[in-house]
Amino acid sequence: MKTNRCVLSAATLALALPGMLQGAAAPASGIERPAKNGNKPRNVIFILSDDHRFDFMGFMGTVPWLQTPAMDKMAREGAHIRNAFVTTSLSSPSRCSILTSLYTHEHTVVDNQASQPANLVFFPQYLQQAGYKTAFFGKWHMGTDDDMPRPGFDHWEGFRGQGTYYNVMININGKRTKFSPELFSSDIITDHTIDFIDANKKNPFFVYLSYKSVHSPFDASPSRKGMYQDKPIVYPPSFNVPHYGIPQLPSKDANGKPLEGRGWYGPDRMPDWVKNQRESWHGVDYQYHGAKPYETDLRNYCEAITSMDDDIGRLMEYLKKEGLDRSTLVIYMGDNGFTWGEHGLIDKRTFYESSVRVPMLAYCPELIKPGTVVDQMVQNVDIGPTVMDACGIGKASQMRGSSFLPLVGGQKVSGWRDRIFYEYYWEYDYPQTPTVIGVRTDRYKYIRYLGVWDTNEFYDLASDPHETMNLIDKPELQDTIKAMVGQMYDWLEGSGGMQIPLKRTIKYKEGDHRNKKVY
């Protein structure tokens, strides 16, 4: 696919070269220096997208008409990590967990407005210590809207806040540059990524390429606009589970007593907050306060995915042309999942599968056999240790994740995690979703809600992969549920997570149509 090439000026490109750093963050001193692990240091490119759900890739078949040839090729010729999860399904907390390998309650970036603590160490800082040239391109979106260079990167090109698809402004090593309004953001930062690699390919390099795509308001590159506008919509099986249905008060059963259990919640025992949220900023009946119909947004979302895939394909073709493709490790993932109609919801934040699962692919022919499928549960906290492993250094002592390099390399790994834990903290701007903690194994999932009078949830994912029948009250499962609750609290207690973080917030709510312009 031909694009408008966005070439860095000679002066700007010089900032990426050794000894000419102006404004970019210098390598940190005074942090732990992890030991070398004996692996051959290799170049690494980490590609991050925004709000791309786990199964919206062409080879997955969820959306029959969705085209993602570059991702399909990465899966076909590399590895598909099919059970990849985030510890918190929200952009800033997840991005901080990627960079630090810490849980949200540890790094304290609990939402998209929380400030970034000064004591955090990002894994690219360790790569700088090991002699790597490091670069960041695109959407940082962590710790306020600031676009200034962050620690760990020799070369920096960052958007402010969410960034934009068109009329793009990029902070390049401390200086903001405005681009032609018709240029597409993913095209620009992909071009600049290629320029950086071209200037640094004789030395070990690490690139963090962070697309705005596919975050709302969904938009496509010029050549992809409208390509799916006539395609039929595929609705998820749980689109109407639940469909409102909260009883009126006062409630009475056949004996004149207030309703309880399934008598109140309905035969599938779905939470009331989910029923309420269907008509909200994050619900299918009033999404983004009625800006566009559900079906239009879904088609636009898919066009944004294909647009981004075009740029991933261009980058991969460049690596092949330069002979860098076989030895460079390329990892692709989404920062969180995205619900498209499951339980009548859109967006993320919940512990439902569509929200917590993310796409993850890895490509490096020297390490990974074609068609590798990893079934073990991998998380965002594993990215830092994995990249460090590929660069020949061990993970830092504070990191919670583990390298999945042996998994994609086809090795048997003893002691790999057999469950994941989840946390999400209620947000002032989007009060429809309560605080969530939970635990998931290969088969079962337990979800607990805090600060709301509602039912908790328990699902057998083997028999109910779409999470439509809550089994929280089944007598035969009470021992299993109790044990999982204990494991969840062991995790929280063992990692300092028993305090719900509060943040000073004095503003009108952004996403609450029932409570406009009130504090």
Q: What is the CATH number of the domain that holds 351?
A: 3.40.720.10
Distances (CA, A) of 306 to 52, 68, 303: 11, 6, 5
In a domain, 181, yes or no: yes
Degrees, nearest 5: CA angle 191-113-357: 65
pLDDT at position 250 is: 95
C-alpha closest to that of 96 among 128, 48, 52, 135: 48
| Contact assessment for residue 466 and residue 237, using Cβ atoms and an 8 Å cutoff | yes
C-alpha closest to that of 193 among 45, 362, 74: 45
The model's pTM: 0.93
C-alpha closest to that of 424 among 434, 412, 410: 434
The whole domain housing 59 covers 40-229+296-414
pLDDT at position 515 is: 87
Sign of CA dihedral 287, 272, 502, 96: negative
Degrees, nearest 5: CA angle 156-302-56: 90
Phi-psi group of 400: left, alpha or beta (phi > 0 → left; psi -120 to 50 → alpha; rest → beta): alpha
pLDDT at position 7 is: 55
In a domain, 368, yes or no: yes
* Omega within 30 of 0 (cis) for the link into 250: yes
| Contact assessment for residue 487 and residue 438, using Cβ atoms and an 8 Å cutoff | no
| Contact assessment for residue 213 and residue 50, using Cβ atoms and an 8 Å cutoff | yes
- Per DSSP, helices labelled H in 51-181 are 69-77, 91-100, 104-107, 123-129
pLDDT at position 132 is: 96
In a domain, 170, yes or no: yes
In a domain, 81, yes or no: yes
Residue 175, token pair as written in the block: 């200086």
pLDDT at position 14 is: 46
pLDDT at position 337 is: 98
List CB contacts of 470: < 8 A, sequence separation 6 or more: 265, 268, 269, 270, 455, 457, 458, 459
pLDDT per position in the chain (519 positions), as tens?
Answer: 344 455 555 445 544 443 334 445 555 556 777 777 777 889 999 999 999 999 999 999 999 999 999 999 999 999 999 999 999 999 999 999 999 999 999 999 999 988 889 899 999 999 999 999 999 999 998 867 789 999 999 999 999 999 999 999 999 999 999 999 999 999 999 999 999 999 999 999 999 999 999 999 999 999 999 999 999 999 999 999 999 999 999 999 999 999 999 999 999 999 999 999 999 999 999 999 999 999 999 999 999 999 999 999 999 999 999 999 999 999 999 999 999 999 999 999 999 999 999 999 999 999 999 999 999 999 999 999 999 999 999 999 999 999 999 999 999 999 999 999 999 999 999 999 999 999 999 999 999 999 999 999 999 999 999 999 999 999 999 999 999 999 999 999 999 999 887 777 878 888 888 888 888
| Domain count within the chain | 1
In a domain, 394, yes or no: yes
List CB contacts of 123: < 8 A, sequence separation 6 or more: 99, 100, 101, 152, 383, 384, 385, 387, 388, 396, 399
pLDDT at position 24 is: 55
Maximum alpha-carbon separation in the chain: 82
Query: Which residues are registered as beta bridge partners of 176?
Result: 171
Look at residue 142 and give its three-state secondary structure.
Answer: coil
Scan for tokens 């170049």, then name that residue.
Answer: 43
In a domain, 382, yes or no: yes
